[in-house]
Structure 1
Amino acid sequence: MASVSFENLAPQVSRQICKELQQLISDPPEGIKVILNEEDISDIQAIIDGPAGTPYASGHFRVKLVLGKDFPSGPPKGFFLTKIFHPNVSQQGEICVNTLKKDWKPDLGIKHIFLTIKCLLIVPNAESALNEEAGKLLLEHYEDYFQRAKMMTEIHAKVSQNQSNADAHLNEDNSPTEGPTASKKAATDRTVLADKKKPVVKDKKRTLKRL
């Protein structure tokens, strides 16, 4: 599943992709967060939030795009790195959607691809199923499909409670819980967290601009 290096792409294509990634980071679509690999800018990944009203709701799914040497004339390949029970996603994670096959157009951008994958979570297509079991359940026993997909989401795509609440519990263990010292430490912790977060975006943008 290794992605082709940007060195194998035309310079103008590489610049366009970097520009798109920078825009996605500064102004991300709702429910989609691009993850930039600063060591390999061609490693295009994102976290897609499961849409409400679907069995994937409250899940967070990591997806990856693999660019071929003929990109953008040829479509990229899409993969779910997070396990998911979906008619259009194989057990190996490969995504089957017309936008990445017969309906591909060279002017479709990275943003459009991620939005298409998110829409696939809302409206699965049983007619082009890579997971035959999921496709059959979707058509014949929707409630069973829904429960199976929901169970997989609960197991593989939910952020753990400990992880999601990590910031909230910074001061709970081995630290003062009240008084001036605790207040001062809490303020310090918030400053440290803010300082840790700020350089990340700057570094990402700086990395993109270098390419």
Structure 2
Amino acid sequence: ALSRLRKELDMLHREPPPGISAWAKEDGSFEIEAVIHGAEDTPYARGSFHLLLAVPERYPFEPPRFTTPIYHPNIDSAGRICLDILNMPPKGAWKPSLNLPTVLSSIQLLMSHPNPDDGLMVEITHEYIHHPERFKQTAEERTRRHA
């Protein structure tokens, strides 16, 4: 698991997806820190969102979580992320072929395109669906404050 993790981190250093960076918290550590920059034309633009990923020895990942507060329908106040690729089958779509760059890119995509059909935060999801301008304004304000 550690060997694969090192290869994936090396891949992220050589060819990072736009707006994403990641590194081992300590040398030889199974904890990864990552930063995802909010995409332009979203409420998260100009924000830098920090995540912590715990990679168990049995690899694949345990779900990453945000350590930077984010106002999002699919991310709860503890930073947990509702994204199908972060869960094992049959409920989830995790595959051993997925890697760290793919997981982080998928989270970045979720930030830009929330999934209201699978909302984790009921009130935020309701606001996203029924009051999109209020959602955008609150998300932008929280991004300025926290990210």
Shared fold (TM-score greater than 0.5)? yes
Q: For residue 116 of structure 1, what is the aligned residue in structure 2?
A: 106
Q: Distance in 1 between matches of 2:102 and 2:84?
A: 13
Which amino acid in the other structure matches residue 33 of structure 2? Q
- TM-aligned CA distance change 1:69 to 1:132, over 3 Å: farther
1:125-164 equivalences in 2 (<5 Å)? 125-157=115-147
Q: Distance in 1 between matches of 2:55 and 2:31?
A: 9
Q: Are the counterparts in 2 of residues 90 and 131 from structure 1 also a CA contact under 8 Å?
A: yes
Looking at secondary structure, tell me which structure has more helix per residue: 1
Aligned partner of 1:100 among 77, 86, 99? 86
* Displacement of 1:39: 4.3
Question: Are 2:35 and 1:47 equivalent residues in the alignment?
Answer: yes
Off by >6 Å, runs of 4+ in structure 1: none
CA displacement 1:167-197 (0-9 Å, x = unmatched): xxxxxxxxxxxxxxxxxxxxxxxxxxxxxxx
Q: For residue 192 of structure 1, what is the aligned residue in structure 2?
A: none
Aligned residues: 143
* Displacement of 1:147: 0.6
Identity rate, percent: 34
What is the SS of the residue equivalent to 1:77? Answer: coil
Q: For residue 208 of structure 1, what is the aligned residue in structure 2?
A: none
Which amino acid in the other structure matches residue 51 of structure 2? V
* Displacement of 1:38: 2.7
Q: For residue 37 of structure 1, what is the aligned residue in structure 2?
A: 25
Which amino acid in the other structure matches residue 13 of structure 2? I
Structure 2 residues not aligned, in runs of 5+: none
Q: Distance in 1 between matches of 2:30 and 2:56?
A: 11
- What is the TM-score normalised by the length of structure 1? 0.64
Q: Distance in 2 between matches of 1:22 and 1:105?
A: 21
* Displacement of 1:69: 4.8
Q: Are the counterparts in 1 of residues 36 and 108 from structure 2 also a CA contact under 8 Å?
A: yes
Q: With CA pairs under 8 Å and 6+ residues apart, which has the higher RCO, 1 or 2?
A: 2
Question: Are 2:6 and 1:28 equivalent residues in the alignment?
Answer: no
Supply the RMSD in Å over aligned alpha carbons.
1.4
- What is the TM-score normalised by the length of structure 2? 0.91
Q: Are the counterparts in 1 of residues 30 and 56 from structure 2 also a CA contact under 8 Å?
A: no
Structure index of larger Rg: 1
